[in-house]
């Protein structure tokens, strides 16, 4: 079929298999020339199909020839209806990995459930014996608690006061003010239940008790801080509470891994266009200004550049360069004083008229469509493609 982007609000309902494949192959190519010294060997990636999780899987496989198991929640294709992008990404990754002689298998389902955890555990036992790294990179709006069956929904709201600031609709380029009402107490608890650290801890507890974590095992989850501009709605809002919980969980995990000298870390990553971040108000305007400034300074990075630096200059390097709160920081370039000062200046000037000039709206849009395999260089979108692509290592 001919597949075209079909957008609704901040999501795209279609994905292009060839474009997704090209994105994955580009990331593989990037990592091939940047091997990780003493890198991981057997890696489980939760949230492995898109964004930072996919980049982590690629960096593990192609930076240190690691065997990878990927867990994700993606929609398979049906005749005439393309799959979700993470499906095509995983198909492309596993096809290439198998060609290159790398172990790569995956499990598609709800990572929050006992069932998917048990399935993953069995696969580790059967094929790998033990893992030495677990990457936790889930981004989900909902979580059904595996014990109680309660379905929690996360929200992106400020705590206490109404938040008012500018945002951009990146499809139309219109910059306008928006207001977001403060959350209820329940919203905080629900958001922590979805995006906090409880599920990460549950994975670790299960794998530790089943003795499938090797000596010196490491696990890392991803967090975000961001600028003062977005603080009220992000870091000091409901999602920030969840990130506080996630970050606190890293220390608890380290405690629970004492017997094997294991470590739990949080890495604070930079703001990037992903399916998760394009839904957050104010962030798209911030990102389009940030991209402009970071590209001008020649320090712009995508997911793969971020994770390559995380592995090669932090996790598997001599010095983790932890901050005062014990976190790894690969948002260090985004948060540089000179970068933030420039973004803040531009923020004051940003209007519908000025943004195309002072911001990188085009870069934002390109990245957004790239997530779904569209606007990718070298792909002929007029050509017929087979939407029925299989993931070769899918269990």
Number of residues that bind Na ion (CB under 5 A): 5
Residues that bind ligand NAD (CB under 6 A): 47-53, 71-74, 86, 110-112, 137-140, 222-224, 269, 271-272, 274-277
Contact letters for Na ion, residues 318-357 (x by CB under 5 A) = ----------------------------------------
CB 375 within 8 A of CB 14: no
Q: Is 234 a catalytic residue?
A: yes
Q: Are strands 142-144 and 151-153 parallel, antiparallel or unpaired?
A: antiparallel
Exposure b/e, 239-272, CB count within 10 A at least 16 = b: bbbbbbbbbebbeebbebbeeeebbbbbbbbbbb
CB 286 within 8 A of CB 271: yes
Residue 275 CB, nearest approach to ligand NAD (Å)? 4
Residue 89 CB, nearest approach to Na ion (Å)? 10
- For ligand NAD, the closer of residues 62 and 291 by Cβ is 291
The item of ligand NAD, Na ion, none sharing an interface with residue 74, based on CB under 5 to 8 Å by kind, is: ligand NAD
Q: Which of 371, 136, 363 is nearest to 274 (CA)?
A: 371
Residues of this chain, 24-53, that bind Na ion according to CB under 5 A: 47, 51-53
Task: Please tell me which residue in 88, 136, 222, 234 is annotated as part of the active site.
Answer: 234
Work out which of 42, 120, 137, 201 binds Na ion, going by CB under 5 A. 137
The item of Na ion, ligand NAD, none sharing an interface with residue 111, based on CB under 5 to 8 Å by kind, is: ligand NAD
- For Na ion, the closer of residues 89 and 191 by Cβ is 89
- For Na ion, the closer of residues 53 and 70 by Cβ is 53
Taking the C-alpha atoms of residue 187 and residue 122, their distance in angstroms, rounded to an integer, is: 35
Taking the C-alpha atoms of residue 140 and residue 195, their distance in angstroms, rounded to an integer, is: 7
Taking the C-alpha atoms of residue 364 and residue 351, their distance in angstroms, rounded to an integer, is: 16
The item of Na ion, ligand NAD, none sharing an interface with residue 276, based on CB under 5 to 8 Å by kind, is: ligand NAD
Helix residue ranges per DSSP H, the chain = 17-32, 51-64, 85-99, 114-123, 185-195, 198-209, 228-231, 238-256, 283-296, 303-310, 337-349, 355-358, 361-371
Residues found near Na ion in the complex (CB under 5 A): 47, 51-53, 137
Report the catalytic residues.
Answer: 234
């Amino acid at each position: 079929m001919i597949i075209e982007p079909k957008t609704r609000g901040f999501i795209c309902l279609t994905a292009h298999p060839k474009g997704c494949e090209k994105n994955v192959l580009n990331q593989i190519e990037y990592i091939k020339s940047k091997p990780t010294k003493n890198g991981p060997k057997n890696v489980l990636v939760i949230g492995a199909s898109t964004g930072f999780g996919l980049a982590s899987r690629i960096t593990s496989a192609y930076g240190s020839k690691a065997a990878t198991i990927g867990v994700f929640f993606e929609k398979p294709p049906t005749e005439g209806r393309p799959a979700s992008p993470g499906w095509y990404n995983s198909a492309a990754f596993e096809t290439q990995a198998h060609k290159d002689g790398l172990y790569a298998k995956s499990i598609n389902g709800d990572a929050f459930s006992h069932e998917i955890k048990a399935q993953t555990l069995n696969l580790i036992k059967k094929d790998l014996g033990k893992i030495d790294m677990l990457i936790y990179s889930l981004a989900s709006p909902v979580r059904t608690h595996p014990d109680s069956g309660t379905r929690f929904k996360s929200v992106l709201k400020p705590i206490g006061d109404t938040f008012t600031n500018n945002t951009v609709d990146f499809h139309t380029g219109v910059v306008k003010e928006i207001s977001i009402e403060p959350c209820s107490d329940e919203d905080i608890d629900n958001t922590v239940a979805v995006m906090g650290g409880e599920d990460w801890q549950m994975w670790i507890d299960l794998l530790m008790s089943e003795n499938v974590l090797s000596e010196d095992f490491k696990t890392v989850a991803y967090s975000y801080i961001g600028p003062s501009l977005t603080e009220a709605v992000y870091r000091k809002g409901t999602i920030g509470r969840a990130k506080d919980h996630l970050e606190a969980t890293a220390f608890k995990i380290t405690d629970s891994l004492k017997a094997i000298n294991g470590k739990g870390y949080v890495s604070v990553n930079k703001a990037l266009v992903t399916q998760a971040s394009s839904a957050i108000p104010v962030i798209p305007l911030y990102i389009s200004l940030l991209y402009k400034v970071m590209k001008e300074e020649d320090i712009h990075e995508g997911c793969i550049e971020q994770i390559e630096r995380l592995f090669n200059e932090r996790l598997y390097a001599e010095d983790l360069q932890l901050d005062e709160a014990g976190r790894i920081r690969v948002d260090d370039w985004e948060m540089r004083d000179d970068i933030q000062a420039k973004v803040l200046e531009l923020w004051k000037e940003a209007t519908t008229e000025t943004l195309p000039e002072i911001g990188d709206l085009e870069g934002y849009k390109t990245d957004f469509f790239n997530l779904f395999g569209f606007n990718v260089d070298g792909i002929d979108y007029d050509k017929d493609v087979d939407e029925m692509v299989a993931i070769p290592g899918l269990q």
